Chains A and B, each alone.
Chain A
Amino acid sequence: MNNFNYERPRSLREAVSLRSRNAGAFYLAGGTDLIVQMRDDLLKPSLLIDLKALKQLEGIDMKKDVLHIAALTKVSAVEMDRTLLRTLPFLCDAAGFLGSPLTRNKATIGGNICNASPAAEFGTPLIALNARAVISDGEKTRVMAVEDFMTGVKKNALKRGELLSGFIIPDPKGHKGRFFKKSRIKLVDLATVNITVIKKGTEYRIAIGSCFIKPLRIRTAEEMLRGIKEPDARLLGKAARICAEEIKPIDDLRGTADFRRDIVFHYVKKLLGELTAKGGQR
């Protein structure tokens, strides 16, 4: 690991200003992506701006039917949050599948999305929830869909100096959802495929990860199901088929493209079935 400067700013403005003035600077959240890359000399920052002291960047809060999750909230805190376990348990499930408990005690939800791996565990639940990323330049904030915030492998929409301050989930009540992760070993491995499906009334949302340069919504399949209260097995199969066709997976060490299409077909069908069958609460 190379040597670098280290700062722990006390204000958002100071953090942003440090980043703007230093081309080789990186924000440090939990460091579970960053430090691994630095250890392997894949990344040689000149400065790490540790966001730890910015307590306003941590916490989960429901205000007037809008859910706020701050960027530096630990993955383990998302996994065990009482409000979330009640309203959006599938988001807690996704958290519980990220790395090991030891990783989750350090890793943050914001770091996961900023790092923008196609396999990012929070990618599919957040885009299926129509979550929005709140971006700060130290003074003003701007907001964009998480789906647009992740722009490609390890790429996000932040401009120089900006940081991610958190996520908003509008109208979080009334979502039934399922999160699913397929990996080579049961725990502590990146996803070969991850999937979130949501049913809200008769609106359906399907998000698939690890099958393109970023997590994807499959809107053609969603539209096909829209308005139907209890789609039958044939229709669910058709929707799942569309998903398997629309993704653009690659062959890699975690699985072949064909394997990924098979997993997507079978599990989208199964998960949607669980949501629509009577008793498929959650």
Chain B
Amino acid sequence: MKKGFVHEINFTVNGIKRALSVHSNETLLKVLREHYGLTGAKEGCGGGECGACTVLLNGSPVNSCLVLAVEADNAHILTIEGIAAKDSIHPIQQAFIEYGAVQCGFCTPGMIMTAYALLQKNPDPDEAQIKRALSGNLCRCTGYVQIIEAVKAAAKRMKGKRG
């Protein structure tokens, strides 16, 4: 349904079905942050270069700054706010804390979403695969070593859990 530049969209955000009126020129990032208060995804560059805005769109990590909200009609969106089980944090989040992979934290939600998608697809990635998967997520603080170590540790723990 649409009226002029305003469109009704239906989508699922972190498991919850949502209906919303959006303007055609609003990005998914803007709607997530400003309408739903899901401020984990950040706007760094706004142009697909930095990955701070990474969310999963139908299971694949994408730059939400380059997704129009109207494009998300009928889609499933997962953000950093939706990955943990209730009252706990996700093993990737835990590993990021323990390994000092978070400094200013601006890149962290995007990093974790990309790592999350990687570990869903490939539970046992080697270092080269981790580096490649994270190559669209920039970090200005950590120097990446701790991030890669954290993803390795999380992979190990998650595998252990799956048994």
Kindly list chain A residues whose C-beta atoms are within 8 Å of the C-beta of B61: 101-102, 105
Whether A39 touches B47, Cβ cut-off 8 Å, given contacts A4-B24, A31-B66, A48-B24, is yes
Q: Is the CB of B25 closer than 8 A to any CB of chain A?
A: yes
Does B108 reach chain A (CB closer than 8 Å)? no
A105 CB, nearest partner CB in chain B, Å: 4
B133's nearest neighbour on chain A, judged by CB, is A101
Indicate if the CB atoms of A101 and B114 lie closer than 8 Å.
yes
Pair A3/B24 contact, Cβ less than 8 Å:
yes
Cβ–Cβ < 8 Å partners of A4 in chain B: 5, 24-25
Count class of interface residues, chain A: 20 to 34
Contact string against A for B residues 57-89, beta-carbon threshold 8 Å, 1 for contact and 0 otherwise: 100111100111011010000000000000000
* Residues in A whose Cβ lies below 8 Å from that of B48: 32, 36, 99-100, 102-103
Is B136 engaged at the interface, CB distance under 8 Å to the other chain? yes
Whether B24 pairs with A52 at a CB distance below 8 angstroms is no
Give the interface SS of chain B, mostly helix, strand, loop or mixed.
mixed
Q: Which residues of B12-66 are within 8 A (CB) of A?
A: 23-25, 27, 46-49, 51, 54, 57, 60-63, 66
The verdict on A99 contacting B71 (CB below 8 Å), with A4-B5, A39-B46, A39-B47 known, is: no
Chain B min CB distance to A180 (Å): 18
A126 to chain B, nearest CB (A): 23
Q: Is the CB of A50 within 8 A of B71?
A: yes
- Residues of B near A124 (CB, < 8 A) are none
Which residues of chain A (83-105) have a CB below 8 Å from chain B?
A: 99-103, 105
8 Å CB contacts to B: which residues of A1-53?
A: 1-6, 8, 28, 31-32, 35-36, 38-39, 48, 50, 52
Query: Does B135 count as interface, using CB distance less than 8 angstroms?
Result: yes
Interface residues of A (CB under 8 A from B): 1-6, 8, 28, 31-32, 35-36, 38-39, 48, 50, 52, 76, 99-103, 105-106, 187-188
